[in-house]
Amino acid sequence: MSIKRRQFIKAAGAAGAVTGLSLSGLRFASAGSGKHVVVVGGGAGGATCAKYIRHFDSSVKVTVIEPKTEFATCFMSNWVIGGLKEQDWITHTYGDWSAKHGIDVIHDLVVDIDADKQTVTTRGGKTVSYDRLVVSPGVDMKYDTIDGYSEAASHLVPHAWHAGPQTTVLRKQLEDMPDGGLFVMASPPNPFRCPPGPYERVSLVANYLKRNKPKSKILILDAKDKFSKQGLFTAGWEKYYGYGTDDSMIEWRSRANDGTVKAVDAETRTAMTTFDEIKADVLNVIPAQTAGHIAHKAGLTDDSGWCPVDHMTWESKMHKNVHVIGDAAIASPLPKSGYAANSEGKVCAAAVVAMLKGNDAPTPSWVNTCYSLVTPSHGISVAMVYDSKDGSVSKVKGSGGLTPKGGDYTLEAVYAESWYLNIVDDMFG
Amino acid sequence: MTRTSLLSALFVAGLAVGHSATAADASGQMIAAQCNGCHGFEGKSVGDAPSLHGRSAALMAKAMMDFKSEARQATIMNRIAKGYSDAEIQNVAEYYANLK
Ligand SMILES: Cc1cc2nc3c(=O)[nH]c(=O)nc-3n(C[C@H](O)[C@H](O)[C@H](O)COP(=O)(O)OP(=O)(O)OC[C@H]3O[C@@H](n4cnc5c(N)ncnc54)[C@H](O)[C@@H]3O)c2cc1C
């Protein structure tokens, strides 16, 4: 309170020369330098937003707080699991990026947000104040939705739904699996990060097994009755992996068919559904998900476990001056994808820059595209362009959709890799 | 805000309301930011997708209109181009053309 009062008096002293400024304008004027935006999380959403704030208005000071010094993208981590790429290829660092764009990076974990005082506190004991805060913490796994599953158990039975060490563990387990072995995936209920992700992973595991361990089988135990790009995936599986025949490498068991995994025994790599018990050679358990812990801690989530926001600005409906983007936000009809996080990051950056000047946010526009590989040279995609209707994200009628019948799957695979190189350059370059 | 800029802002807002039943057009900068995910930061591609940086506005607008009408076939651009009004296509074409 006394600080605010002092700042006000100091600013009021300077105000003689700058008439006509609003009260909040005076407070900022007292800081002497540009406004300060803090970004929590340097992943797909956070890195994009930080970079574009500086790109749109270099007078804004930006600090990113991210515990990791190396960020492995989830996108294309299936390519690493399938043996198409090495872990290095999906791993990015912050040093050059920070220098190039004049962004401060603090490698620490945010443990608390005080939306009234406009400060964040880190595990390392730092308190950082902000004019506006952007939170992009991604997802946390709801381990407690599957009996016997936990953070600890996930080291034996990885989810690999955060890229990094678990990506390497799952790859290694596949390499160590005997020919004739069984790979079991527990696929999560909606909503979750990257709807086509589990099925791209299965495709690339099948591609690896077909070439190296052709007697092996894959079983998907699904908590859903349908999935993203299902027609395109199953057509590809029929073409390459015998799907639908007695000799199919891949079997998909839907929720209605007792697909939901209720419990696991990590030691014996066993998955339990209501009526069945399946012992796997490699078990990949992807549980239900929720907004990253800090979003819950800071009171940014609603009963759904995700963060309600104003789509025009991505400002939280729970706390003023705090914006939430990426997987943690309720963004529907935008999916929880890297492209969507990147797209939201830019709309949020433009809004933050405008709002810091006391202006209205500009008319937004969003894009999402998710490429997936069925084999290394058979790519498929789903795309959509979005605008705003009555203040919410809305699909532009007539745009987007799936790879059309007779589409060029070979070229789509080429452009999938091109997409990765460009979006990573757009975020971390 | 000066009196004249306030007045002109109100004037523009008035036009926007009468614009049409559809949403307001987004700026070239806003739309280009969305294309960059596939075409690279500032439209400088580091992959197999073509670069858009500094392309002539007329050629870019023609390409987009042809994708939109399906006069030109492509793997993804038909699905993307159909998401924008003709005015937005003009905006984004001019934005990339003016990048230095
Ligand atoms: C296997 C797989 C494949 C995928 N493939 C694709 C694809 O092909 N295309 C696509 O578009 N998307 C894909 N995705 C989805 C994409 O990875 C996510 O949607 C995207 O990363 C979301 O961005 P985000 O910023 O919300 O979270 P993230 O990118 O996960 O970033 C969150 C960051 O916040 C940090 N953080 C969390 N809490 C704190 C805290 N308290 N303090 C400080 N920092 C914190 C984390 O360390 C992390 O670095 C895939 C995902 C998976 C799992």
One domain, residues A177 and A243: yes
- Compute, in angstroms, the gap from residue A293 CA to the centroid of ligand 1: 13
**Hey, what amino acid is at A37?**
V
Would A102 be classed as within a structural domain?
no
- Cis amide bond preceding A333, omega within 30: yes
Residue ranges of chain B with per-residue pLDDT less than 50 = 1-21
- Compute, in angstroms, the gap from residue A143 CA to the centroid of ligand 1: 18
* Ordered mean pLDDT values, 10 residues apiece, chain A (429 residues): 36 34 36 80 98 97 98 98 98 97 98 98 98 98 98 98 98 98 98 98 98 98 98 98 97 98 98 98 98 98 98 98 98 98 98 97 98 98 97 97 96 98 98
One domain, residues A280 and A305: no
What is the rounded average pLDDT for all residues in chain A?
Answer: 93
Total-model pTM: 0.92
Q: Do A419 and B75 touch (CB under 8 A)?
A: no
Mutation for B interface: A337, A370, A418, most B CBs within 10 A: A418
One domain, residues A423 and A300: yes
Domain boundary among A232, A266, A285: A285
Name the minimum distance, in Å, from the CA of A425 to any CA of chain B. 6
Would A397 be classed as within a structural domain?
yes
Give pLDDT, residue B100. Answer: 86
Residue with tokens 């009004």: B85
Beta bridge partners of A114: A119
Which residues from chain B sit within 8 angstroms of residue A399, using beta carbons?
79-80, 82-83
Tell me if A335 CB under 6 Å of ligand 1: no
Helices (H), A32-84: 44-56, 77-81
Q: Do B46 and A414 touch (CB under 8 A)?
A: no
Give pLDDT, residue B22. Answer: 58
Would A307 be classed as within a structural domain?
yes
Tell me if A161 CB under 6 Å of ligand 1: yes
Residue A278: which CATH number? 3.50.50.60
Q: Do A399 and B82 touch (CB under 8 A)?
A: yes
Q: Compute the distance between CA of residue A345 and CA of residue A52 in angstroms, rounded to an integer.
A: 8
- Compute, in angstroms, the gap from residue B4 CA to the centroid of ligand 1: 46
Would A258 be classed as within a structural domain?
yes
Would A79 be classed as within a structural domain?
no
Give pLDDT, residue A8. Answer: 36
Domain holding A241, by residue range, is: 143-285
- Compute, in angstroms, the gap from residue A343 CA to the centroid of ligand 1: 13
Domain boundary among A248, A268, A285: A285
Query: Which residues between 38 and 57 in chain B have a beta carbon less than 8 angstroms from any beta carbon of chain A?
Result: 38-41, 45-49
Q: Do A425 and B25 touch (CB under 8 A)?
A: no
Would A78 be classed as within a structural domain?
no
As for how many domains chain A has, the answer is: 2
Q: Compute the distance between CA of residue A53 and CA of residue A352 in angstroms, rounded to an integer.
A: 8
Domain boundary among A222, A253, A285: A285
Give the burial class of A231: count Cβ atoms within 10 A of its Cβ; 0-12 exposed, 13-18 middle, 19 or more buried: exposed
List the Cα angle A73/A76/A80 in 5-degree steps: 100
One domain, residues A249 and A325: no
Cα B41 to chain centroid distance, Å, stands at 15
Which residues from chain B sit within 8 angstroms of residue A387, using beta carbons?
23, 26, 83
Q: Do A426 and B41 touch (CB under 8 A)?
A: yes
pLDDT (tens digit, 9 = 90+) per residue, A158-192?
A: 999 999 999 999 999 999 999 999 999 999 999 99
Would A422 be classed as within a structural domain?
yes
One domain, residues A280 and A165: yes
Tell me if A46 CB under 6 Å of ligand 1: yes
Give this complex's ipTM: 0.90
Domain ranges of chain B: 3-97
Which residue of B39, B75, B79 is in closest CB contact with A411? B75
Task: Return the CATH fold of B3-97.
Answer: Cytochrome Bc1 Complex; Chain D, domain 2 (1.10.760)
Query: Which residues between 57 and 86 in chain B have a beta carbon less than 8 angstroms from any beta carbon of chain A?
Result: 75-76, 79-80, 82-84
Element spanning A221, H or E: strand A217-222
- DSSP output for B72-84: S--SSHHHHHTTS
| 3 state DSSP class of A374 | strand
Q: Say if CB A38 and CB A105 are below 8 A apart.
A: no
